[in-house]
Amino acid sequence: MTDRERLRTTFGEDAARYHRARPSYPAELFAELSGQRILEIGPGTGQATLPLTHIGHVTAVELSPELAAVAQKHAPDAELIVANFDEWPLPEPFDLVVSATAFHWLDPHTRTAKCAAALKPGGALAVISTHHVAGGTEQFFVDVQECYERWDPATPPNLRQSKADDIPREFDESPEFEQPEFHRYEWEQAYDTEAYADLLLTYSNHIALPTREELIADIRQLIDTRYGGRVTKRYLTQLAVARLRSA
């Protein structure tokens, strides 16, 4: 099993926490999408699924049964299917395929071609990615690197967050799709100590870390003692939309 295959199975360990802690997506993002039949890949607990149901009928394919169960309650009008998308047999084609913060977990050798095969002529693939960028409580994200260097030996020294303008506009090169359009949204969210710890424990690299309890305790203490129990995180949400190339 590769690291990608192992880590992508960690998210269902605490589906309630995942749903509680993971941020949603900017509402204006969904105004860029359209389609009567929508396929969502990797919905998690439905942060994007619910707004997608206001656009069209959503079929959502989720690897984790635990996450899918929460997503079904959160977005009851969607059709949730528990399956590995890489192996899932495609039904009738869709108008729109969407993957929100999940596309990178798919098999990189086949994911774009399979998404193309899932689309009707003229359909589109929308890939949403979330990036943690410089901003918010900036000094906290400098100080917290000491915690990571103490408890995670794989942490590069003096790691710093990238500026939003330095985040590349990436999309898999593919003969099946036209050049994508990119839409970018910067926003901030405040967290108290426990909410921030909750958030960290939804990230696969934190979940899988053998010293995660020590790391999270260290970060809690940092927020409480130096930052008054509250920090703000800045996000960049990027939407890439590419139309299926005409035959």
Domains of the chain: 3-243 (3.40.50.150)
What is the number of alpha carbons within 13 Å of residue 154 lying toward its C-beta? 6
Of the candidates 224, 74, 95, which has an alpha carbon nearest to the alpha carbon of residue 147? 224
Q: Using CA atoms, how far apart are residues 122 and 127, in angstroms rounded to an integer? A: 17
How far apart are alpha carbons 237 and 185 in whole angstroms?
A: 5
- Please list the pLDDT of the chain residue by residue as tens digits (247 residues): 566 655 566 665 788 998 999 999 999 999 999 999 999 999 999 999 999 999 999 999 999 999 999 999 999 999 999 999 999 999 999 999 999 999 998 999 999 999 999 999 999 999 999 999 999 999 999 999 999 999 998 899 888 999 999 999 989 989 999 999 999 999 999 999 999 999 999 998 898 899 999 999 999 999 999 999 999 999 999 999 999 998 6
Indicate the pTM of the whole model. 0.92
Q: How far apart are CA 64 and CA 45, in angstroms?
A: 10
d(CA 144, CA 83): 37
Cα distance between residue 25 and residue 130, in whole Å:
9
